[in-house]
């Protein structure tokens, strides 16, 4: 095969390749390039034909590169994340659908997106009406019904229907039953009282004021009795009837260097100041002297305020 035939074959092969890849057409013009079998080809015509083929091939190459670039930018219908894809819709909805809180169906809003205080204010629940939420702002919550006040229930602030009270009288302030009986103050058994220094058995007497209508429930006597022979009684007397309401006595079983406290049994005596006044009688004995020292008498009572 001569050189001319080889050239022609190569030329037409390139022409066909360009057509297959949908490149720009290479147009063979027989008038421009009068190649014919058995004839000589002019170098200028051959060069011109090759220039035409080169231009067409280069143009096809540029188009293929552009097409490959565009294909790479196209979204793939698979699970691959399309990082630069800007779609017009997502699951059939535009962007405004997902920006509306009305379409939220799950999850928790960030505090920066939602203010409970502002929402409750807007809905009118932070006022001072029934059903509103109490605010820690110093304002009186007029309809707030709390279970505790400063940690205490209501029973801690309600006065009991019955209260307990005490009235005490010091024997040191009492006077002797007989004006001729000598007395002296004594410090004995941890207490301060009064005793007689002359005579025998007698009494020191002191008035006591108990609220009218009160119920006496107990009578308490404090005494120093350090003599095994003598003992001391204490009486709660009424002035009008001259009778004893209650009597308690110190022990006569033996001497004691400690102050004794003697308590009566349960009493139920109602005080009537409209008809009576009341006195305490402290038993003393001049023979026992400072070994028998009355100290105090205490009346326990209950009353209704």
Task: Give tens-digit pLDDT for 49-101.
Answer: 777 777 777 777 777 777 766 665 666 666 677 777 777 788 888 888 878 87
Is residue 284 within 8 A of residue 199, CB to CB? The reply is no
Does residue 26 carry a pLDDT above 70?
no
Confidence of residue 27 (pLDDT cuts 50, 70, 90): low
Q: Is the distance from CB of 244 to CB of 235 less than 8 angstroms?
A: yes
Look at domain 163-303 and name its CATH class.
mainly beta
Phi-psi group of 32: left, alpha or beta (phi > 0 → left; psi -120 to 50 → alpha; rest → beta) = alpha
CA distances from 273 to 194, 276, 278, 295, 302 (A): 28, 5, 9, 26, 15
What is the distance between the alpha carbons of residues 155 and 152, in angstroms, rounded to a whole number? 8
Domain positions in the chain: 3-70, 119-158, 163-303
Residue 297 above 80 pLDDT?
yes
| Most confident option among 102-111, 151-160, 178-187 | 178-187
For the whole model, what pTM was predicted? 0.49
Mean pLDDT within 29-38: 65
And the tokens for 178? 């007989």
Q: Residues 269-296: pLDDT tens digits?
A: 999 999 899 999 999 999 999 999 999 9
pLDDT greater than 70 at residue 39: yes
Name the band, by pLDDT with cuts 50, 70 and 90, for residue 240.
confident
pLDDT at 253 over 80: no
Average pLDDT, the chain: 79
Higher pLDDT, 105 or 113: 105
- What secondary structure does DSSP assign to 199-267, as a single string? SSEEEEEEEE---TT-EEEEEEEEEEE--SS---EEEEEETTT--EEEEEE---SS--SSEEEEE----
Predicted confidence at residue 81, as pLDDT, reads 73
């Amino acid at each position: 095969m001569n050189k001319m035939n080889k050239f022609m074959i190569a030329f037409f092969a390139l022409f066909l390749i360009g057509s297959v890849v949908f490149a720009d057409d290479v147009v063979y013009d027989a008038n421009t390039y009068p190649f014919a079998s058995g004839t000589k080809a002019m170098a200028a015509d051959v060069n011109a034909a090759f220039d035409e083929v080169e231009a067409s091939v280069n143009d096809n190459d540029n188009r293929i590169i552009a097409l490959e670039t565009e294909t790479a930018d196209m979204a793939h219908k698979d699970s691959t994340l399309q990082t630069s894809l800007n779609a017009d819709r997502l699951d059939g909805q535009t962007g405004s659908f997902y920006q509306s809180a009305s379409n939220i169906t799950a999850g928790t809003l960030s505090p920066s997106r939602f203010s409970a205080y502002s929402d409750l204010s807007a809905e009118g629940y932070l006022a001072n009406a029934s059903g509103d939420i109490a605010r820690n702002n110093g304002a009186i919550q007029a309809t707030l019904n709390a279970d505790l006040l400063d940690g205490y229930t209501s029973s801690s602030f309600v006065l009991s229907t019955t209260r307990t009270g005490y009235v005490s009288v010091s024997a040191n302030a009492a006077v002797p039953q007989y004006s001729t009986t000598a007395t002296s103050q004594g410090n004995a058994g941890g207490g301060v009282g009064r005793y007689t220094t002359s005579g025998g058995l007698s009494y020191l007497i002191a008035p006591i004021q108990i609220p009218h209508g009160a119920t006496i429930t107990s009578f308490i006597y404090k005494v120093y009795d350090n003599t095994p022979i003598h003992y001391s009684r204490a009486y709660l007397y009424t002035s009008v009837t001259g009778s004893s309401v209650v009597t308690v006595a110190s022990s006569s079983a033996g001497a004691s260097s400690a102050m004794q406290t003697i308590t009566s049994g349960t009493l139920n005596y109602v005080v009537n100041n409209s008809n009576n006044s009341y006195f305490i009688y402290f038993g003393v004995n001049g023979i026992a002297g400072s070994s028998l020292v009355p100290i105090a008498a205490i009346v326990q009572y209950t009353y209704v305020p």
